[in-house]
Structure 1
Amino acid sequence: MKIAVSGKGGVGKTTLSSLLARYWARNGYRVLAVDADPDANLGSALGIETAGIVPVAKMEDLITERTGLRPGTVGGFFKMNPKVDDLPEALGREKDGVRLLIMGTVKKGGGGCICPESVLLKALVSHLVLYEKDLVIMDMEAGIEHLGRGTAQGVNRLLIVVEPGRRSIETAAKVRELTKDIGLHKVAAVGSKVRNSEEEAFLHRSLDGIPLIGILPFSEEIARADLESRPPSLDDPQIHKAIAEIAAALESEAS
């Protein structure tokens, strides 16, 4: 399976990504967790030490080697199909069956960036989605800039994490519109920090056709884990039940 996770900042998409990754690893899958959010903190949610890890987007020597052009160079030719198949193994850091790869992002203005670092990242995402044999979970920002039309069909599901609130719903609608531009129609939502049936009903009413496939309720364990800078316990009954149900929904869609 190839799962991309998006949503407004602070809704819990990194928490969901990390819990799904650890759940599937515990159940025997080889899992590659990809941090594609500029505010990279998936490692801490997985309990993986990230000190010293440089995001792929900032590895100037690697980008130069693979594309033939150093980032920041004005003009010049570079490879549009750089070699990337060895990078997940070479650059990943593993713990308890989950391998973490920190992508980073390309800072750009205007209409976009056709630059060596952007080309390398997109080639790497294409490889992860289309050819990587591991189960891949990509924790993305509130957009889909790492995905393109060529990789959209390889994604089993784009999950938009939403909390009971109007701004979160508005972000979900914007992400849904972006997915239409690249032909990605396999979109679903997961509710996060839901406290009661009224809030769950609000999400069902407000998602405007985006299927809600699961709920990660508000959890004292998740809140404590965040304060203590540790991964939430998968053995917490409330968390385990919710993640097992979301994982089962995704597995049934992928089969």
Structure 2
Amino acid sequence: MKIAITGKGGVGKTTIAGLLARTLAADGCRVLAIDADPDANLAAAVGIPTDKLAQLQPFSKMKQLAKQRTGADQNNGGLYVLNPRVDDLPDSYCVEHAGVRLLMMGTVEHGGSGCVCPEHTLLRSLMKHLLLERDDVVIMDMEAGIEHLGRATAEAVDVLIVVVEPGKRSLQTSTQIEQLAADIGIKRIAYIASKVVDDTDLHYLQQALPNKTWLGHLSYSARLRDTDKDGSCAFDIPGAYQSQMAAVKTALLQMVNTSKHSIADIRG
């Protein structure tokens, strides 16, 4: 199962990505969390300790690795391999915590616009491998531009989750995201309402986004807000959002028609 999560900055998408990754891992799934947001904060949302976090480096910064894998470090007149081997990289460069393995992608410059630098080539090949060839449950925390995705990998995304909060700017961003998703062929889009105070907020969002698939919501919580401030992991702190995320997980699995057999295939 391959899930991409996006939304306007500040709506809580990284917190939700971390909660969903930990919830699925606690259920026995093999989870690979991908931080594909330039403002990388998914490690904290997953609960990765500081000492482990120090071992993480974005693939976009691994210039020597990119040159080695693409052959750009050889004297070949500027030519290099466009489909380098990457299948060993996820296990070699991830950090693991509570059943979740985390990779940090880093920024893809001019996503999809034709950049042919070794780093971009490595990232595109790695993303293709993660979405098309891995059996893990992949949870990707994306920026609003979903620029790490392209036409070659969009069909592998089972669901694009758009996180929205009650507010016009969040809704405007969600419309832009849907347009970008349609352009690259993502067919399944679902919504999660975030920072919901009461039923009035839910009604506002559902009225503003009619005929959409809603996976659930997370209530506004001062405790949840504080975890974002201090970098702690919401999954490790009791709160209503845990049961709400469990409900989101159930709706998500139903949406992608995951059978008991396929769930068994992705459990460790």
* Both structures adopt the same fold (TM-score exceeding 0.5): yes
Q: Verify the 8 A CA contact 1:222 1:232 in the aligned structure 2.
A: yes
Q: Closer, same or farther in 2 for the Cα pair 1:111/1:24, shift >3 Å?
A: closer
Q: TM-score, normalised by structure 1?
A: 0.93
Displacement after TM superposition at 1:234 (Å): 5.0
Question: Aligned with 2:234: secondary structure?
Answer: coil
Q: Verify the 8 A CA contact 2:108 2:147 in the aligned structure 1.
A: no
Q: Distance in 1 between matches of 2:97 and 2:85?
A: 26
Q: Verify the 8 A CA contact 1:11 1:163 in the aligned structure 2.
A: yes
Which deviates more from structure 2 when the two are superposed, residues 145-154 or residues 92-101? Answer: 145-154
Q: Distance in 1 between matches of 2:250 and 2:179?
A: 27
Q: Distance in 2 between matches of 1:51 and 1:103?
A: 15
Unaligned 5+ segments in structure 2 are: 259-268
Q: Distance in 1 between matches of 2:10 and 2:36?
A: 15
Tell me how large the CA RMSD over aligned residues is. Answer: 1.8
Q: Verify the 8 A CA contact 1:148 1:182 in the aligned structure 2.
A: yes
Identity over the aligned pairs, expressed in percent? 47
The residue aligned with 1:26 is: 26
Unaligned 5+ segments in structure 1 are: none
* Counterpart residue type for residue 21 of structure 1: A
Q: CA deviation digits over 1:113-155, x for unaligned, max 9? A: 2322122111111111111111110001011111111211111
Q: Verify the 8 A CA contact 1:106 1:118 in the aligned structure 2.
A: yes
Q: Structure 2 matches for 1:114-193, cutoff 5 A? A: 114-193=116-195
Q: Closer, same or farther in 2 for the Cα pair 1:157/1:109, shift >3 Å?
A: closer
Q: TM-score, normalised by structure 2?
A: 0.89
Q: Closer, same or farther in 2 for the Cα pair 1:197/1:84, shift >3 Å?
A: same
Do residues 58 (structure 1) and 58 (structure 2) align? no
Aligned residues: 251
The residue aligned with 2:2 is: 2
Displacement after TM superposition at 1:235 (Å): 5.8
Q: Closer, same or farther in 2 for the Cα pair 1:109/1:187, shift >3 Å?
A: closer
Which deviates more from structure 2 when the two are superposed, residues 124-133 or residues 55-64? Answer: 124-133
Q: Closer, same or farther in 2 for the Cα pair 1:109/1:173, shift >3 Å?
A: closer
Question: Aligned with 1:53: secondary structure?
Answer: coil
Q: Distance in 1 between matches of 2:165 and 2:216?
A: 12
Q: CA deviation digits over 1:182-219, x for unaligned, max 9? A: 11111111111011111111111112543222111111
Q: Verify the 8 A CA contact 2:56 2:103 in the aligned structure 1.
A: no
Q: Distance in 1 between matches of 2:240 and 2:153?
A: 35
Which deviates more from structure 2 when the two are superposed, residues 103-112 or residues 166-175? Answer: 103-112
Question: Aligned with 2:195: secondary structure?
Answer: strand
Q: Structure 2 matches for 1:178-217, cutoff 5 A? A: 178-217=180-219
Q: Closer, same or farther in 2 for the Cα pair 1:12/1:95, shift >3 Å?
A: same
